[in-house]
Amino acid sequence: MEIFVEKFGGASVNSADAIRNVEHILSLEKKKRVVIISAMGKTTNKLENIVNKWFNNQVFFTEQFEELKDFHLQLIEELFDNVDIGNTEKIDLQQSVKNIFEELKQKIKVLPNFDYNFLYDSIVSYGEILSTTIISSYLNAKKLNNRLLYAHTIIKTDNNYRDANINFSDTNREVNEQIMSLLKNFDLIITQGFLGGTKENLITTLGREGSDYSAAILAYCLNAKSMTVWKDVAGLLNADPKRVEQTIKIHTMPYTEAVELSYYGASIIHPKTIKPLENVKIPLYIKSFKSPTEQGTVICESESVNPIVPNFIFKDNQLLLSIMPKDLSFVTEISISTIFSLLAKHKVKVNMIQNSAISFSICFDDNRNILPALLNDLEKDFLVRYNEGLQLVTIRHYTVEAVNNIIKGRRILIEQKNRMTAQYLIDNGIEKLNK
């Protein structure tokens, strides 16, 4: 059986019209598909705000909650505002969505809130539950017969909440038992991106923007013919068009280059996505949902990137921590290993490192839910300073011109270059002496 895995991200399902377009894309070709869907628009961010407010201040963020609820209910209203769809589906769906919101509200108030990561996954996962419930029901109403499967029953993980690790043998088993047998009777299976489940079926998440990874895991386990990610851009561009005026579309890219780009933070694909696909040589297509018949980018087993042009990756909201042993002794292997075990403990992903005799500097995404506890641990042995509000710019296949365009007139805190890649940590803020 030839199976195609396709992923629709948040921007492709953020309105009634967008969802009608998903239906249009799915009806262009008849084939066996497993479709992975993200939360609608900015839902995940809003749920994150709700969790953070509850975790930090024990305040239920009613405004944000009601806004999300209205958004989803209003969207159903618009989506089914269509003469050829029966009313019963709409009423049933509205009721289920209201129930989901009620459940969410109850959950946040009763779940133990000493473990941020656990609470986060239990709540933030509702974004995908909502989007798939709505879209599956709408497609069924439009006679695109499909089955909704819950990702936490298929994608099996450990209990490393907020960044769960896949148990591939359990996942493989579930995929074969559940998806393969359903595909005999259905052309279309729908499931949530970003979510997984522990052995006990507690919900986990795979890290922000993890839906691409979900799709790759399923493509791998299903030995899919291809995986397609539907985006609001024409394919993989050499820079984010919101940041750079003239962008260039990449036609073909080898897996290895894609891994490099996502390692440096290219947001177009989740860093873990490529590996499972590369293992079994499944091509990954990145295509525009606005022009679905146009050729996008294909990431596959090719010799080199085509075309080779400088690729820009921007990461905002970076924090640079400079860590010094309290007695101003040299930074040694021992102190570095202490620092790294603390970073691992607090789940900090390091974006850049610089070492000198008496100080060790690391740059990472600023997250105020983690920082105080990390600083607290570090300060037992070290003096710590930090700069905030920084930008990390990476240029793959850099040229003198590309570099000059980025750095001219700006204050560079750290510069690192190798044969292919130049990185600049750029300052817009002020240094803070902690304490």
Q: Which residues sit at the interface with Mg ion, rule CB under 5 A?
A: 10, 38
Burial 127-165 (b: 16+ CB within 10 A, else e): bbbbbbbbbbbbbbbbebebbbbbbbebbbbeeebbbbe
Give me 49's structure tokens. Answer: 């705000």
Q: Please identify, among the stretches 56-64, 205-213, 244-252, 370-378, the one whose residues bind ligand ASP according to the rule CB under 6 A.
A: 205-213
| Minimum CB distance to ligand ASP, residue 131 (Å) | 8
> CA angle, 117 as apex, 116 and 121 as ends, to 5°?
115
| Minimum CB distance to Mg ion, residue 54 (Å) | 21
| Minimum CB distance to ligand ASP, residue 204 (Å) | 13
Question: Contact, 364 vs 389, CB < 8 A?
Answer: no
Would you call 312 exposed, middle or buried from its count of C-beta atoms within 10 A (0-12, 13-18, 19+)?
A: buried
**Where is 247: in which H helix or E strand?**
none
Per CB under 6 A, does 271 bind ligand ASP? Answer: no
Q: Out of 126, 194, 312, 424, which residue is the one contacting ligand ASP (CB under 6 A)?
A: 194
80 or 126: whose CB is closer to ligand ASP?
126
Angle between helices 43-57 and 62-79 (to 10 degrees): 160
Binding partner of residue 197 among ligand ASP, Mg ion, none, CB cut-off 5 to 8 Å per kind:
none
204 or 211: whose CB is closer to ligand ASP?
211
Binding partner of residue 424 among ligand ASP, Mg ion, none, CB cut-off 5 to 8 Å per kind:
none
20 or 208: whose CB is closer to ligand ASP?
208
Q: Please identify, among the stretches 37-45, 70-78, 158-166, 249-257, the one whose residues bind ligand ASP according to the rule CB under 6 A.
A: 37-45
Alpha-carbon distances, residue 427 vs 194, 233, 409, 421 (angstroms): 33, 30, 11, 20
38 or 318: whose CB is closer to Mg ion?
38
Per CB under 6 A, does 210 bind ligand ASP? Answer: yes
129 or 339: whose CB is closer to ligand ASP?
129
Instruction: Find where tokens 């499972």 sit.
Output: 276
Give me 237's structure tokens. Answer: 């561009």
Handedness of CA 365, 369, 375, 378 (dihedral sign): negative
| Minimum CB distance to ligand ASP, residue 194 (Å) | 4
**Residue from 273, 159, 270 nearest 216 by CA:** 273
38 or 387: whose CB is closer to Mg ion?
38
Residues of this chain, 121-150, that bind ligand ASP according to CB under 6 A: 127
**Where is 75: in which H helix or E strand?**
helix 62-79
109, 111, 113, 115: CA torsion to nearest 10? -150
- Residue 175 DSSP one-character state: I
Question: Contact, 310 vs 396, CB < 8 A?
Answer: yes
Residues 6+ apart with CB under 8 A from 28: 292, 293
| Minimum CB distance to ligand ASP, residue 338 (Å) | 32
Q: Please identify, among the stretches 109-117, 151-159, 209-217, 414-422, the one whose residues bind ligand ASP according to the rule CB under 6 A.
A: 209-217
Q: Out of 193, 196, 235, 325, which residue is the one contacting ligand ASP (CB under 6 A)?
A: 193
Q: Please identify, among the stretches 66-74, 102-110, 207-215, 342-350, the one whose residues bind ligand ASP according to the rule CB under 6 A.
A: 207-215
Give me 365's structure tokens. Answer: 């995404």
Q: Is 59 helix (H, G, I), strand (E, B) or coil?
A: coil
194 or 314: whose CB is closer to ligand ASP?
194
Per CB under 6 A, does 10 bind ligand ASP? Answer: yes
Per CB under 6 A, does 162 bind ligand ASP? Answer: no
Closest residue to ligand ASP using C-beta atoms: 211
Q: Out of 38, 125, 157, 387, which residue is the one contacting ligand ASP (CB under 6 A)?
A: 38
192 or 387: whose CB is closer to Mg ion?
192
| Minimum CB distance to ligand ASP, residue 50 (Å) | 14
**Residue from 60, 27, 236 nearest 142 by CA:** 27
Q: Is 271 helix (H, G, I), strand (E, B) or coil?
A: coil
Binding partner of residue 216 among ligand ASP, Mg ion, none, CB cut-off 5 to 8 Å per kind:
none
Q: Out of 3, 16, 34, 39, which residue is the one contacting ligand ASP (CB under 6 A)?
A: 39
124 or 362: whose CB is closer to ligand ASP?
124
Question: Contact, 222 vs 214, CB < 8 A?
Answer: no
38 or 228: whose CB is closer to Mg ion?
38
Q: Is 31 helix (H, G, I), strand (E, B) or coil?
A: coil
Residues that bind ligand ASP (CB under 6 A): 9-10, 38-39, 44, 127, 193-194, 208-211
